[in-house]
Amino acid sequence: MSFKESNVYECSVSELPQISNRAGNITPLTSNEEIPFDIKRVYYLYDVPGGESRGGHAHRDLHQLIVAASGSFDVVLDDGRIKKTVSLNRPNYGLYIKPGIWRDLTNFSSGSVLLVLASLPYFESDYIRDYREFIDLKLKYTR
C-alpha cells in the first residue's frame, strides 16, 4: 500500500552521525539504526558532468537513502500532487526516499559522488520509468 500513499513530506533529510578525527570525519551507517530499513545494496554514481541531470523514475517497493558523499546535487521529489526540491551538499546528511516517489536528479557539481543505500537488490521490474504510468498508478482508483 505504501506506493500509493507515500508523499514527499515523508521523504526527509536527516543528519547522520559524524565522528570527527584529527584529519577527517567518519560517518558509520547501520541497517535499522540510522537507516530505516535493511540495506541490501549500495551503489554510487560519479563522473556526472557538472550541471547535468539524471533520474526520472520511481520505484514500486524500493526504499533508499541518498547521500552527497562528495560535491552537491538537487533531488526533485514528486508524489503526483506535490513537488519538493532537496539540495544535498554534505556527506553527513541523508535523504530518505520511500517507494512511490518520482525523482529527478539535477544540478550535479562536477566531481560529485551520489551514494545510495537501497533496501532491495537491483530489479528492473521495480522501476517505473514512464511519468504518465506513474501518475496513473499513483492517482487512479484512490478513494
Instruction: Check: CB of residue 63 under 8 Å from CB of residue 98.
Output: yes
Provide the CA 101 distance to its chain's centre, in angstroms: 9
59 is known as an active-site residue: no
| CB burial readout 71-90, b (16+ within 10 A) else e | bebbbbbbbbeeeeebebeb
Single out the catalytic residue among 40, 54, 57, 90: 57
123 touches ligand TYD (CB under 6 A): no
Return the DSSP state at 60.
S
Shortest Å distance, C-beta 32 to ligand TYD = 21
Residue count of the chain = 143
Among 9-17, 25-33, 52-60, 90-98, which window interacts with ligand TYD (CB under 6 A)? Answer: 52-60
Measured from the CB of residue 116, what is the shortest distance to ligand TYD in angstroms? 7
Question: Which parts of 57-116 interact with ligand TYD (CB under 6 A)?
Answer: 57
- Between 22 and 51, how does the x/- string for binding to ligand TYD read (CB under 6 A)? -------------------x-x--------
Is residue 16 packed enough to be buried (19+ CB in 10 Å), middle (13-18) or exposed (0-12)? middle
Binding site for ligand TYD (CB under 6 A): 41, 43, 54-55, 57, 122
* Catalytic sites, residue numbers: 57
